[in-house]
Amino acid sequence: MSRLRIMLRAGTLAALAGALVWLWLPGRHGREQAALSEFPLPAGPFVALTFDDGPRAGTTPVLLDGLNQRGVHATFFVVGENVEGNEELLVRMEREGHQIGLHTFHHRSLAEVNAADFYREVDTLRDALRGLLDQQDFMLRPPYGMITPSNRARAGAPIILWSVDPEDWSDQDTARQLSVILDTTEDGAIILLHDIYPSSVETALQAVDALMAQGYKFVTVEELFALRGQQPECGQEYRKLPPPE
């Protein structure tokens, strides 16, 4: 194994990304941010696997087992209604190195809710997760990828969309979903799947195996920002994080 490969083994990569995330936390002093520019950023290709609408007791543990076996960290945008009864699953996600994000309390479109409903949908979920997890900052994925400018301004979080969408909710066809993923994934892609369908769990694990064989390294969304030397900004929409020109 080459020195570069050893350096980029999952554990080392996660530790490096963790250090970069720490350096880029909002409000850190300029001196520490300046120190970051002295790091050469590691080469990709990187990809972030993201799962919406869970957790679900019948499917999410199978996915977590498969990701754990492969040393892969993903990002889960969870729905508040699914938190109760699945607390241990969320704690397990965090313990196993996954990132957790917000997908509203009742899966409501943030293109349609007013300010009061926005806070009910987003802040109540954030508060519930803060009480449960060590992680205290949560990125937001609006259901259906839709959000009004005024709700963007209320988000208090970066808004994470996606660049690869196999529409896994529309059928149970793992072969079709896998081919969409393999045809459209590029360095810095954010892949959208749903951990509430057994077929999607199968698609995800097959995609991990196929993309790893092509040299892709799987990171959380937060790690992807850090590996690009980019600071996520509240209220800003992100679909992918390609390598710098």
The identity of residue 41, as a single letter, is L
- Position of minimal CB gap to Ni ion: 52
Report the nearest approach of Ni ion to the CB of residue 114 (Å): 20
3-state SS string for 67-117: HHHHCCCCEEEECHHHCCCCHHHHHHHHHCCCEEEECCCCCCCECCCCHHH
**Identity of the residue, 79 or 180, whose beta carbon is nearer to Ni ion in the bound complex:** 79
CA-to-CA distance for 29 and 25, rounded, in angstroms? 10
Report the nearest approach of Ni ion to the CB of residue 49 (Å): 15
**Identity of the residue, 24 or 138, whose beta carbon is nearer to Ni ion in the bound complex:** 138
**Identity of the residue, 117 or 186, whose beta carbon is nearer to Ni ion in the bound complex:** 117
Report the nearest approach of Ni ion to the CB of residue 119 (Å): 19
Report the nearest approach of Ni ion to the CB of residue 141 (Å): 7
The DSSP output letter for 41 is P
The identity of residue 122, as a single letter, is V
Phi, psi (degrees; rounded to nearest 5) at 39: -75, 130
In the residue annotation, 194 being an active-site residue is answered as: yes
Report the nearest approach of Ni ion to the CB of residue 154 (Å): 19
Pairing of the two strands 46-52 and 159-160: unpaired
**Identity of the residue, 20 or 113, whose beta carbon is nearer to Ni ion in the bound complex:** 113
Q: Which residues are within 8 A (CB) of 82 and not within 5 positions of it... i.e. 6 or more apart? A: 53, 54, 55, 56
Task: From the candidates 52, 53, 168, 195, give the one annotated as an active-site residue.
Answer: 52
In the residue annotation, 209 being an active-site residue is answered as: no
**Identity of the residue, 143 or 158, whose beta carbon is nearer to Ni ion in the bound complex:** 143
User: Terminal CA-to-CA distance of the chain, rounded, Å?
Assistant: 29
CA-to-CA distance for 238 and 161, rounded, in angstroms? 6
Residues at the site binding Ni ion, with contacts judged by CB under 5 A: 52-53, 143
| Cβ–Cβ < 8 Å for 220, 48 | yes
Task: From the candidates 137, 194, 195, 209, give the one annotated as an active-site residue.
Answer: 194
CA-to-CA distance for 92 and 136, rounded, in angstroms? 16
What are the residue numbers of the active site?
52, 194
